[in-house]
Amino acid sequence: MSTVSYYTAEGLKKLREELDQLKSIERPKASQAIAEARDKGDLSENAEYDAAKEAQGMLEMRIAKLEEVHSNARLIDETHLDVSKVLVLSNVKIKNQANGMELKYTLVAESEADLKTGKISVTSPIGKGLLGKSVGQVAEITVPNGKLNFEVLEISRD
């Protein structure tokens, strides 16, 4: 049984775009590569044909996986989210109590996480530790280096 994945509107749009790209552009390219390799002669000794068939198989697996993810994807309704606690789609400003450094993160689904843009997964150690916390609370988070304490300074939604 497949698990349900929760997406923002932006994340769901990216998923659909990738699926459309694979189906409408990459799939015909793979078919064309197989046809060209087939035209080159004896298939029993044609490494190019074998490679093209293998590439097509990998592409079809990727398409099937994305279709499964898409069919189990659910859009998060941001209007019903509680702003008093850290939840998915919360913008959180936290303070590392050890060094006083302040950080800002947006908690997102695992598939949308991107540390470069400040989006961390709710399944990451920091994301898990912050879930359910309110402003002023301290989250003790176990990371590979040990334990870190983060104070929640602000919670907001965009």
Identify the residue with better confidence: 5 or 147.
147
Average pLDDT over the chain, rounded to an integer: 86
Phi and psi angles of residue 122, each rounded to the nearest 5 degrees, phi first: -70, -15
Mean pLDDT throughout 44-73? 88
* Cβ atoms 97, 150 nearer than 8 A: yes
What is the token pair recorded at 148? 């870190």
The predicted model scores a pTM of 0.61
* Cβ atoms 149, 77 nearer than 8 A: no
What is the token pair recorded at 127? 């994301």
Residue located via tokens 């990451």:
124
What does the alpha-carbon distance between residue 158 and residue 106 come to, in Å, rounded to a whole number?
Answer: 10
Residue 17 has a pLDDT of: 93
Ranking 6-15, 59-68, 84-93, 142-151 by mean pLDDT, the lowest is: 6-15
Letter for the amino acid at 79? T
* pLDDT higher than 90, residue 95: yes
Residue 36 has a pLDDT of: 87
Q: What are the tens digits of pLDDT across the range 100-133?
A: 999 999 988 887 888 899 999 888 899 889 988 9
pLDDT grade, residue 1 (50/70/90)? very low
What does the alpha-carbon distance between residue 94 and residue 80 come to, in Å, rounded to a whole number?
Answer: 23
pLDDT grade, residue 151 (50/70/90)? very high
- In sequence order, what are the beta bridge partners of 7? 75
Letter for the amino acid at 24? S
- The C-alpha R_g of the chain, in whole angstroms, comes to 22
